[in-house]
Amino acid sequence: MTVCIATISNAGHIVGASDRMLTVGGLISFAPPVPKVDQLTNSIAVLYSGETALHAEVMHRLFPQVGEEIGKHPDKWVSVVWAATRYRDTYLYVREKRAEAAILAPQGLTYDTFHARSAQMSQQLVEELRRQLADYAARPPGDGCAAIVAGVDAGGPYLFRIDNGSLSDETTLGFATIGNGGVNADYELMLAGYSPKKSPDEALIHTYVAKRRAEVAPYVGPETDMFVIGPAPGTFSRLPDVWLASLDPIYRRMRRTEARGFETATKDTQKLLDRVAAERAKLAPPTQQAPESSAATPPAPPPGPAPEPPPTSNDGP
């Protein structure tokens, strides 16, 4: 119940935007004054949607892994693909532990004991527990969570999308969206022909416009947070409020221009219809006709009299 967007520019920048809607328990959404952008390093950011508590637990386990990686290789920038893969793996681990607590623990089982004892258990119970575990994995409470891992490392800018543990590389596409407002943002970016060939200023305004367009979706908040990374690693910075305040009138002017353009197009269309009506008025009035294909089939001739039955005789041979 949110929207998060990230794009890549041709200069190697990452531009990100999100609202502030949080989801609790899969049912309650509210917008506290807290950005939905987690800074994983000073070169990698994580935007998220879905169950807030689940994402928070994933990040709680992920931060120490990132710190350990930096400690091992202090002179090497953390790889964005490594961070995205670790988020995915950590998410799957947390989801598995939650499923174990919700489904197996009431039966006095863990994953290990379930696999070890399944041969001695009722086949019906084993199948039912497996079904529940599969359903939980497909749709955990609150539908789980999705995330965009966006950043710049020694290889350049990268975008990765994780949706309930499924990882996809969106770098070539040049943009990634999540949340129920993501469909609206996708349409906006696709209609604009967005690609990684866009300039930094185009990336900034397209990302902002996509976020604003997504606000028509249910539970997408009007608050906007944005950040920029790149083109060099270690350059994460949040856009200050004064920048966002300056983007709003630009967006409003664009909307007014669109409205005037549509009004002009509507008038031109009316002129076209008037010309068509005038041309038709010059023609003879139409007469009512039935299409040839619908002509009735002539009825079949009535049958002739029934034939006389053959003579019969009671006489013997």
Q: Per CATH, is 4-239 categorized as 3.60.20.10?
A: yes
Q: How does pLDDT run across 171-181, given as a tens digit for each residue?
A: 999 999 999 99
Average pLDDT over residues 133-140: 92
pTM: 0.84
Q: How does pLDDT run across 229-277, given as a tens digit for each residue?
A: 999 999 999 999 999 999 999 999 999 999 999 999 999 999 999 999 8
- pLDDT score for 290: 80
Least confident of 15-29, 78-92, 277-291: 15-29
Going by pLDDT thresholds of 50, 70 and 90, the confidence category of residue 31 is: low
| Local structure of residue 314 (DSSP, 8 states) | -
Phi, psi for residue 308 in degrees, rounded to 5: -70, 140
Q: How does pLDDT run across 71-109, given as a tens digit for each residue?
A: 999 999 999 999 999 999 999 999 999 999 999 999 999
Give the 3-state secondary structure of residue 176.
Answer: strand
- Domain residue ranges of the chain, discontinuous segments joined by +: 4-239
Closest of 171, 167, 168 to residue 153, by C-alpha: 171
CA 65 – CA 106 distance, rounded (Å): 31
- How high is the mean pLDDT of the chain? 90
The fraction of the chain above a pLDDT of 70, given in percent, is 89
Phi, psi for residue 52 in degrees, rounded to 5: -65, -40
Closest of 95, 256, 215, 214 to residue 162, by C-alpha: 95
Closest of 180, 174, 181, 223 to residue 202, by C-alpha: 174
Average pLDDT over residues 298-308: 62
